[in-house]
Amino acid sequence: MPILAVLTGVTGEVLHDVLCGEFPPLLLREEVYATAALAGAACYLGLHGAGTGDTPNIAVSAGLVLTLRMAAVFRDLHLPRLQRAAG
């Protein structure tokens, strides 16, 4: 289930990148799309493991993803960029 959530969250942005001709692709940038989707999936699994119902799990998880994405957009937050080793 979490893999499907991450794939669903990332697929739309990858299609956007391809259609708009943007480079580098999503997973090589410091954007938080995949990280937000993964956090939402982990939240859902944690709540599911705690025994809560599906409707609250979905609502809280979707709210978390939306909050992370909006924070990234409005506060210009990015993930750290990986640096290549010298040598």
Length of the chain: 87
- Under the banding of pLDDT at 50, 70 and 90, the label for residue 84 is low
Mean pLDDT, range 17-45, rounded to an integer:
75
61-75 confidence digits (pLDDT tens):
999 989 998 888 888
Alpha-carbon dihedral sign for residues 57, 14, 78, 80? positive
Of the candidates 60, 59, 32, 46, the one whose C-alpha atom is nearest the C-alpha of residue 2 is: 46
Q: Where are the domains of the chain?
A: 2-74
- Under the banding of pLDDT at 50, 70 and 90, the label for residue 28 is low
What pLDDT is recorded for position 48?
92
Specify the pTM. 0.67
What pLDDT is recorded for position 47?
94
DSSP 75: T
